[in-house]
Chains A and B, each alone.
Chain A
Amino acid sequence: MKSRGKIFTLFLVGVLLLAVVASGCIGGETTTTTITAPSSSPTEAASSPTTTTAAPKYPITVTDFAERTVTIEKPPERVIVLSGYWAEILCVLGVQDRIVGIGKYVPYDTYLPDDVKNRTVVGSNFKGLNWETVVGLNPDLIIIDWYGGKYADAETIQKAEELGIPVIALTARTIEDNVKVVELLGKVFDKEEKAGELAGWMEEKLSAVKETAAQIPESERKNALLISAPKDIAGPVTVYANGSAWASMVELIGAHNLASDMTFDTQWPKLDLEKIIAYWGNDTDVLILTSFSQDRLEDAMNGIKNDSRWQEIKAVKEGHVYGILAGSKGYLDWGPRIIVGLYQMANIIYPDRYQSWESVRDELIEKFYSPFYPGE
């Protein structure tokens, strides 16, 4: 009896230890931060109006993507930005030194310089912020993602307003929204010239895509199916349907997103293989997989190509299965990089019609990212 008790205690301790180690591993990501001294802020703020040439422009009033009217009283000097892709725009605008706090996932953005990635982590768009850390940083602007109040976004705005910190809520439901974000941030930071250059380049690349797309004859219009690379290729598959911004990119390129033909209760329905075969098996010319992980992407692509069930889908049978890496390690992400992602998708669906995505990437890096981009 006693020895059994001991074994059991050992087990309990073991599981607890495992849990502690586990939480330490995940939690570790959030705690590798340095606290910047908040006391330095008054002097910085005081000296800034003399160094900023366009100081008289403030206060500036803008409408953000949550349809809120925000007044920025003075040039933002201590900024918290929760998403890496919006932080990239701040870097392009040359205001990266003003970032004092970042979101939980910003350090994973490989396009950001190390000094931005090493700023204090204050929380995330999804689960909210640690307000003691936020107040300790003495910010004069918080840039968050707007999800329509679905996660911690509405809460964050409310809390920040109570504390008197201005909030700009950004979102991108379409590619064009990313251009608008660039323009908006240019206004907020009084860097409209640089923002105009970036926005202009993005517009130019976008209209080139639209022009080419318009020239594609109806007979050559391809049907594409965009899915999230499944962990288990026998399991349910997430399909990008109507309302998904990534699915709208397929249409922009001049192809047809098959899943947009049907009505689902979400833009990311999960479907089993039989449904995918039944709905679109015979029509799918191109199957595109996306994933935030390169390994997952490759595993799923290999699995699908070698699986007898997936052979019932025309694109798989004919060998047209492709992958696009999403998120901050690839280009299918928000911010200026989405333009490169758009060309990636365009190259996949119509290999001969569009400028190569590599050259678009090189343009973006050379023209805008080179001053801060640490390189691959």
Chain B
Amino acid sequence: MRKAFHLSFLLSPVLALIVSLCIGTYPIPPSAVVSMVLLKGAQLISEVLKILTLGKISFPVIIPYPSVYQTILFEIRLPRVLMAMLVGSALAISGAVLQAIFRNPLVNSYILGISSGAAFGAALAIGFSLSLGVTPLAFAFALLAVFMTTSLAKIGGRITPVSLVLAGIIVNAFFSALTSLLKFLMEHDKLASIVYWLMGSFANSDWGSVRVAFPVILAGCFMIYSMRWQLNVLSFGEEAKIVGVETEKLKFAFIVIISLITAVSVAFCGIIGWVGLMIPHIVRMAFGPDHKTLIPLTITVGASFMVLADTLARSIATYEIPIGILTTLLGIPFFAYLLRKTGGGWNA
């Protein structure tokens, strides 16, 4: 029974993907969605075969649906759905890793200053209409903020949970103040743009953003997945050192990976709160604190949750609802229920 439960959570992104692709403002029958996806898959296979066999084997696949269906499904919905899944898993796994290595249930990757750094970068780009664009600047400042936080937190060559949280608060406050200053000085229409950006959205996702985010987040998740055993060791804290694990180097490696994947997520989609804190806790409460199961489940549940939340965000009303608001409103009741029922599940 438990195994089936576990497996269903692991496979939940597949179902979430199909459901999300079927839902949208433009009416496309679900049967058409499924067959178009299958045909598109066949089309891709035929093209790959054609290249591999130098054109000897080719079977043309025709998708017998109107072009508007194909545009909506493959150019608008699919990149957005993929982006939501990538960002959901990146934020969730980052939260899980930070909670483990600092043995602090209250941290997520935003404590490193990533969100406020990215916000400042975005505000700079929007405020000055910089040609470089919002995404690269948000990314650069997110990383700068992490660098500042970890440098500040490093006392005597090591980062303690307390020094990290305090350094994060300092850096967050610093960049928030700078962002507020920019917002105050900004012209009115630009102020509206930055406020909208800060609320987070997947509405500008296209294949261009997927092409950048996909390799980075996939590689990051894979590296964390392959290092998930070490997280169990790190969560012992000081005892890990006694058994001879180089905890500081490991911590540093983890921080670099999650900084990269969170910064990419935030740079493309703005600040989507609560997911990084909530998803790891939900998984931990449901399946226990062992990172061997926790990490893969966090990735899949994060992806499913985010893509379903975004599907609601784009289809619940005639207009777009900022995703950050929905993730919080959707997550809280569930989180509260689990907290009451399990008492937190934090006894690692």
Contact = CB atoms under 8 A, between A and B. Distances in A.
A236 B197 CA distance: 11
Contacts of A272: 76, 203, 314, 320
Interface string B171-206: 000100010011011111100010010000101111
A308 B319 contact: no
A26 B127 CA distance: 9
Interface string A15-39: 1000100110111000000000000
Contacts of B71: 277, 308-309, 311-312
Given A236-B201, A236-B204, A273 B76 contact: yes
A8 B151 contact: yes
A27 B27 contact: no
A127 interface: yes
A322 interface: no
A274 B76 contact: yes
A19 B71 CA distance: 43
Interface residues of B, number: 44
Interface string A212-243: 00000000000000000001101110000000
B166 to A, nearest CB: 15
A58 interface: no
Contacts of B161: none
Interface stretch (A77-85, A91-99, A192-200, A263-271): A263-271
Given A22-B127, A22-B182, A309-B75, A281 B68 contact: yes
Nearest to B188: A126
- Among B71, B152, B157, max chain A CB count under 10 A is at B71
Given A235-B203, A274-B76, A279 B319 contact: no
B68 A277 contact: yes
A23 B204 contact: no
Contacts of B111: none
A236 B320 contact: yes
A275 interface: yes
Nearest to B141: A15
B148 A12 contact: yes
Contact of A269 (B203, B204, B319): B319
Contacts of B206: 234
Interface residues of A, number: 44
Interface string B138-171: 0000001001100110100100000000000000
Contact of A274 (B72, B151, B201, B319): B72
B326 to A, nearest CB: 15
B125 to A, nearest CB: 10
A234 B206 CA distance: 7
Given A262-B318, A309-B71, A278 B26 contact: yes
Those 8 A-B pairs whose CB atoms lie nearest each other, nearest first: A235-B204, A278-B26, A234-B206, A26-B185, A278-B25, A236-B203, A269-B319, A8-B151
17 contacts: A7-B151, A8-B148, A11-B144, A19-B178, A22-B128, A127-B184, A234-B206, A236-B196, A265-B319, A269-B318, A273-B76, A274-B76, A278-B24, A292-B189, A308-B75, A311-B71, A312-B67
Interface of A: 1, 4-5, 7-8, 11-12, 15, 19, 22-23, 25-27, 105, 126-127, 231-232, 234-236, 262-266, 269-275, 277-279, 281, 292-293, 308-309, 311-312
